[in-house]
Chains A and B, each alone.
Chain A
Amino acid sequence: GDSVTQMEGPVTLSEEAFLTINCTYTATGYPSLFWYVQYPGEGLQLLLKATKADDKGSNKGFEATYRKETTSFHLEKGSVQVSDSAVYFCALRSGGSNYKLTFGKGTLLTVNP
Chain B
Amino acid sequence: DTEVTQTPKHLVMGMTNKKSLKCEQHMGHRAMYWYKQKAKKPPELMFVYSYEKLSINESVPSRFSPECPNSSLLNLHLHALQPEDSALYLCASSQGGLAGPNTGELFFGEGSRLTVL
Cβ of A43 and Cβ of B108 under 8 Å apart?
yes
Stretch touching chain A among B14-22, B37-45, B61-69, B73-81:
B37-45
In Å, the complex CA distance between A103 and B40 comes to 13
**Given contacts A100-B48, A100-B56, are A34 and B111 in contact (CB under 8 A)?**
no
Helix, strand, loop or mixed for chain B's interface? loop
B-side interface residues toward A, CB under 8 Å?
4, 40-43, 45, 48, 56, 90, 92, 98-99, 103-111
In Å, the complex CA distance between A45 and B4 comes to 11
Neighbouring A residues of B92 by C-beta, 8 Å: 43-44
* Chain B CB within 8 A of A30 CB: no
Give min CB distance, A68 to chain B, whole Å: 17
Cβ of B42 and Cβ of A106 under 8 Å apart?
yes
**Given contacts A42-B110, A43-B111, A44-B90, are A34 and B104 in contact (CB under 8 A)?**
yes
In the complex, residue of chain A having the shortest beta-carbon distance to the beta carbon of B50: A99
Please, what's the 1-or-0 string for A18-60, where 1 marks a CB less than 8 Å from any CB in chain B?
0000000000000010101000011111100100000000000
Cβ of A91 and Cβ of B40 under 8 Å apart?
no
Neighbouring B residues of A46 by C-beta, 8 Å: 105-107
In Å, the complex CA distance between A104 and B44 comes to 11
Q: How large is the interface on A (under 10, 10 to 19, 20 to 34, 35 or more residues)?
A: 20 to 34
In Å, the complex CA distance between A72 and B107 comes to 24
Give min CB distance, A85 to chain B, whole Å: 15
**Given contacts A43-B109, A43-B110, A99-B99, are A93 and B104 in contact (CB under 8 A)?**
yes
Give min CB distance, B106 to chain A, whole Å: 7
Cβ of B108 and Cβ of A45 under 8 Å apart?
yes
Which chain A residues in 73-90 approach chain B with CB under 8 Å? 89
Give min CB distance, A106 to chain B, whole Å: 5
